Structure 1
Amino acid sequence: MYCQQCQESRTPACTLGGACGKKKTVAGAQDRVLYSLSALAFRAKAADTSLEPCVLEALFATLTNVNFDEVRFGEYLSCITAHYNALPPAAGEPAFDAPAGLDTLSDVNTRSLFSLLLFGVKGLAAYYSHALVLGKSDDTVLPFIRDALASRFENLTIDQRTALVLDCGRHGVTVLALLDAANQTYGVPEITRVSTSTGVRPGILVTGHDLKDLALLLEATKNEGIDIYTHGEMLPAHAYPAFKKYPHLRGNYGGSWAEQVTDFAKFNGPVLFTTNCLVPPAPAYADKVFTTGAVGFPNCPHIDAGPDGSKDFSTLIAFARTCRPPEELGRPDLLTGCAHDAVLALAPKVIDLIKGGKIRRFVVMAGCDGRDKRRSYYTEFAKALPRDTIILTAGCAKYRYNALALGDIDGIPRVLDAGQCNDSYSLVVVALALADAFGCGVNDLPISYNIAWYEQKAVLVLLALLHLGVKNIMLGPSLPEFVSPDVLNVLVTTFGLQPSSTVAEDLVKLSCI
């Protein structure tokens, strides 16, 4: 085992078991799937053949905290092998059965750049999967994923590998925009205050990111006497008009994925994982975890999609009826839905407040939450920001500060939550609109970037921001283990990427005070 794909990876890598709870055997199965995908991609590229869309789920399943089920990875490998055997051999192709870990790439910079590319592609596959189930596609995405995976076995220069990494950011922008449009299947998000109180009926808690799964479940439970609650990155679902028509969409329960061990035990009912982030369930609620899509855990019931995309939630619903209602957590209501359409509707007022000196700076604090104790930094940073600054956020990092009483500036909330991690695209749209209004470049705006990362979707979002020319991004709570000193130097000198340090120092570095 040699895994260093997430922020909590041990130094230099997890080798005996994952910090995420992944067993060494599961890590080996994931490595085998990823290696075989690259071998398949090498053959497919030589034959000028596109990869099958099924590879997206296999890639998605290898993200941190998605799938811990070794049996499922065996099924993915069988599928990949069948596609591989259906293609003609390619000149110079690698052995299909060979040591599979990324540590087999002996050159440290080659390994670093391919890791950065692979992890970005994993994020690309995850977001593209969400767009596809909502009917949106782009003909350039699967060919790029094929070429990116195949590059593992190609004799490329460092410059060529760097170009592939940056091209992943370009495709990231394409897919984030595609998913933004796909999500509007459920309407344009509206700024919405979401209740965190509980009702007297049994509930089902929906976590992850998949809006279609939530839509299917809401329709299936509308006359069942059960309340539906969102958790983690599903909070922004409350902002979509299509979901507001369901009175049994009760509210949001708990904090980010990092708090699930304590929150889920108090929910009392079943939890449906639609995507990441799953951690090995604690005994107090292990019998209540259901999975769907790419998610998997041994002995947890899995709900497959039918050929038409439908899902049978009857077992989940029947189980929920036997459970007690959720316990109150005593948390304040939360604001969400501040995506680009909603914020740009406020643009004239925002521009006037900027010109009048009442809004001096925006700070983008998007990204991931996690269990690292250093993440309390983001709570303290938000508290320390001057009252003439506004936080733009997306992703589960917001749970570090979205319940703070930070107030507003002439009616504009000081924390504007655009939504899920993929809605970081909304923040870019807002920034570009402001740059256009002020006739300047995006890096000339009074906007600072203090980003928290955890897993591979955050890697893709970072690459997308770099492609768009955003510079001087601060990243924390630690820099990726998989980035070599030489690659880091390129990111620093070219894009001004910088690590977070202390609240006091970073407030100055980011021109917040």
Structure 2
Amino acid sequence: MFCNQCEQTTRGDVCYQWGACGKSPEVDALQDLLVHCLRGLSQVALQAKSFGITTRDQDEFTCEMLFSTLTNVNFSADDFVAFVNRAIALRESLKLQIQALGNPAINSAIANFQPAGDQQQLIKQGKDLEFEFIGQSAKNVDIFSLKLTILYGLKGVAAYAFHALELGEHDEDLYVFFHEVLANLDAQDKSLQEWLDITLQVGKMNLKAMELLDAGNTNTFGHPTPTPVTLGVTVGKAILVSGHDLLHLRAILEQTAGTGIKVYTHGELLPAHGYPQLKQTYPHLYGHYGTAWQNQTHEFEHFPGAIVMTTNCLMPPHETYKDKVFTLGPVGYPGLQHVSIRDITPIIQKALALPGFVEESDRGTVTTGFARNAVLGVADTVVNAVKSGNIRHFFLVGGCDGAKPGRNYYTDLVETIPSDCVVMTLGCGKFRFFDKQLGDIGGIPRLLDLGQCNDAYSAIQIAVALAQAFQVNVNQLPLSLVLSWYEQKAIAVLLTLLYLGIQNIRIGPTLPAFLTPNVAKLLSETYNLKLITTPEQDLAACLG
């Protein structure tokens, strides 16, 4: 296999025998085969659009399928076989509509690719196509590096766009972009600069996707407000919901109302407590249990109720708790029961059959919900605090957490940041320090949880608004971005920041393995993108 799309890659290079995430070589091959089929589907979809044919089914399918290939989403070979066959069926459906208008369908090899009839042959096709793609790109490793960056970034954009479309937010330009990138990914006639331009366009379109998601979330659930969330538990039956999907969480809350079951969030769903239409409508949304995704094997084993995975973040479950884990949406794993969000009866039955919590515990609270409306609502106070010297600097310390050594850097950095500085955070990287008591500056909390990685749009809007208030550009603000990355959504957000021209970003704990030295140097020279060093050195540099 060949997979280097996440920070966890073997020896910081590439997973070639088995995925560090738990993905098998067979699933890796089927995922690559699916992407190949999506590339052919995209060519046909673009042709269909040019004739005025509606392609919404193909658009949404492409979005969801790219999401399914993200790290820690779906590990099921059977699922990917079904996805491949569905991709071909949707492609052929469009061809028939094109031909019905008296036009010949596109005649490229990839648009006419036929998958094999059994799983083992499909796996072989996937491996052959994977290495064919690598071989075509080996003539220029820097261009290959940018192609991988584009593909992985596109997967991150698809994740945000999928959540948005669940909430009824669509954008035709976004779908056209997906198809154009996929349809032309094997182009051999583009220069390094042209591929770099496409890479930045991924960042531009990710900003659009995050804006759509922000609109979907706030229109559906209200604007987040600062909300204390208990980290303890209460006596009774329980369901733990992990991942990112607020719509799935609401469906679980609706269907468990009146059952006596308490619902707890896990991981990136902590910010759900800040949305008024969730917390106020469903009092059995009790609290938050556990920390970041990489700790779930220990945390899930000790949770005495049913566990639901809604999006990426799933680790291969241990046998000790596998029977109480369920999957929803794009998530899949062999042996786990996949449930339709329209009827979660199996989840409820499992929760009622398990003992639940038999005694209460008090582990304190954390506050979430400092999204853009909440922060910008006190913008004048923030600006005055900066002008008066009470706030010296802002640090955005956020992103994805992970299991590799070196991530204690982020905890050490936050603990070292002086008391006249404010720390903003988002993503599961915050679980390194989310329960630290940092106090406040004139009533402004020194630790502001802006939300999920999905809420990076809020952070961008806060920075833009503060820049306008100070009549400077974002790069002139007393603001430093220190980011941790793990998977493809983090790459999409990074590309958005680069597209916006944000300078001096620090990223870690390692640079992506798919960036060649030349590409990394280019980004460093253009944007001053740099790898983290030590908390003391980076803090001194940020504070000047």
TM-score (norm 2): 0.90
- Is the CA contact 1:45–1:146 (under 8 Å) kept in the aligned structure 2? yes
Counterpart contact for 2:233–2:362, Cα < 8 Å: no
Quote the offset at 1:96 in angstroms.
2.8
1:258 aligned residue: 294
Q: Counterpart of 1:36? A: 37
1:90-489 to 2 correspondences below 5 Å: 90=106, 92-94=108-110, 96=113, 99-101=128-130, 103-104=134-135, 105-106=137-138, 107-155=140-188, 156-184=190-218, 185-244=220-279, 245-305=281-341, 311-326=342-357, 331-489=363-521
CA contact (8 A) 1:43 1:93 kept: no
Deviates more, 1:207-216 or 1:86-95: 86-95
Q: Please tell me whether the aligned partners of residues 234 and 361 of structure 2 are also in contact (alpha carbons under 8 angstroms).
A: no
Q: What secondary structure sits across from 1:277 in the alignment?
A: coil
Instruction: Verify the 8 A CA contact 2:230 2:363 in the aligned structure 1.
Output: no
**Residue 108 of structure 2 corresponds to residue 73 of structure 1:** no
Matched-pair contact (CA < 8 Å) for 2:480–2:542: yes
**Deviation of the 1:362 alpha carbon:** 0.4
**How many percent identity over aligned positions?**
41
3-state DSSP of counterpart to 1:324: coil
Structure 1: distance between partners of 2:47 and 2:170: 24
Aligned letter for 1:179? Answer: L
Q: 2:30·2:80 contact (CA, 8 Å) conserved in 1?
A: yes
CA contact 1:93–1:153 (8 Å) conserved in 2? no
**How far did 1:57 drift?**
1.6
302 and 92 in structure 1: CA distance in 2 versus 1, 3 angstrom threshold: closer
Q: Distance in 2 between matches of 1:84 and 1:216?
A: 32
The answer to whether the Cα contact below 8 Å between 1:169 and 1:464 also exists between their aligned partners in 2 is: yes
Q: Is the 8 A contact 2:75 2:332 kept in 1?
A: yes
Higher helix share: 2
Q: Distance in 1 between matches of 2:363 and 2:149?
A: 38
Output the CA distance in 2 between the equivalents of 1:428 and 1:100: 38
1:450 partner SS: strand
Alpha-carbon distance in 1 for matches of 2:488, 2:411: 23
Give the drift of 1:509.
Answer: 2.5
Secondary structure at the aligned position of 2:326 is classed as strand
AA aligned opposite 1:478: T
* Structure 1 residue 35, shift from structure 2 partner: 1.7
Q: Indicate yes or no: 2:9 matched with 1:9.
A: yes
Counterpart amino acid of 2:461?
A: V
Return closer, same or farther for 1:268/1:75 CA change in 2, 3 Å cut-off.
Answer: same
For residue 348 of structure 2, give the secondary structure of its aligned residue in structure 1: helix
Partner Cα distance (1:64, 1:92) in 2: 30
| 8 Å Cα contact 2:159-2:489 kept in structure 1 | yes
AA paired with 1:230? T
When the two structures are superposed, what TM-score results if normalisation uses the length of structure 1?
0.96
For residues 393-419 of structure 1, what are the alpha-carbon distances to aligned partners after superposition, in whole Å with 9 as ceiling and x for unaligned? Answer: 111111011111211112211111110
What SS class does the counterpart of residue 117 from structure 1 fall into?
helix
CA apart distance, 1:226: 0.4
Give the aligned residue type for 1:322: A
* 1:190-233 CA distance string (max 9 Å, x none): 00110011111110001111111111111111110100000011
- Unaligned 5+ residue runs, structure 2? 96-103, 115-124
1:395 & 1:208 partners in 2: Cα distance?
11
- Cα deviation, residue 83, structure 1: 2.6
Retained in 1: the 8 A contact 2:237–2:261? yes
Alignment deviations for residues 34-86 of structure 1 (CA, whole Å, 9 cap, x no partner): 12212222343355465431122211110000000110000110011123334
| Mapped contact 2:475–2:502 kept (Cα < 8 A) | yes
RMSD of aligned residue pairs (Cα, Å): 1.6
Change in Cα spacing, 1:84 to 1:242, as seen in structure 2 (3 Å) is same
CA contact (8 A) 2:306 2:325 kept: yes
Cα distance in 2 for partners of 1:153, 1:430 equals 38
Distance 1:465 1:336 in 2: 24
1:393·1:424 contact (CA, 8 Å) conserved in 2?
Answer: no
1:330 Cα deviation after fit: 6.0
Instruction: Report if aligned partners of 1:361, 1:447 keep a CA contact under 8 Å in 2.
Output: yes
Partner of 1:308 in structure 2? none
How much does 1:460 deviate?
A: 0.7
2:63 is the counterpart of 1:56: yes
SS across alignment from 1:100: helix
* One-letter amino acid of the structure 1 residue matched with residue 533 of structure 2: S
Structure 1 portions without partners, runs of 5+: 306-310
Specify the code of the residue in structure 2 equivalent to 1:269. G
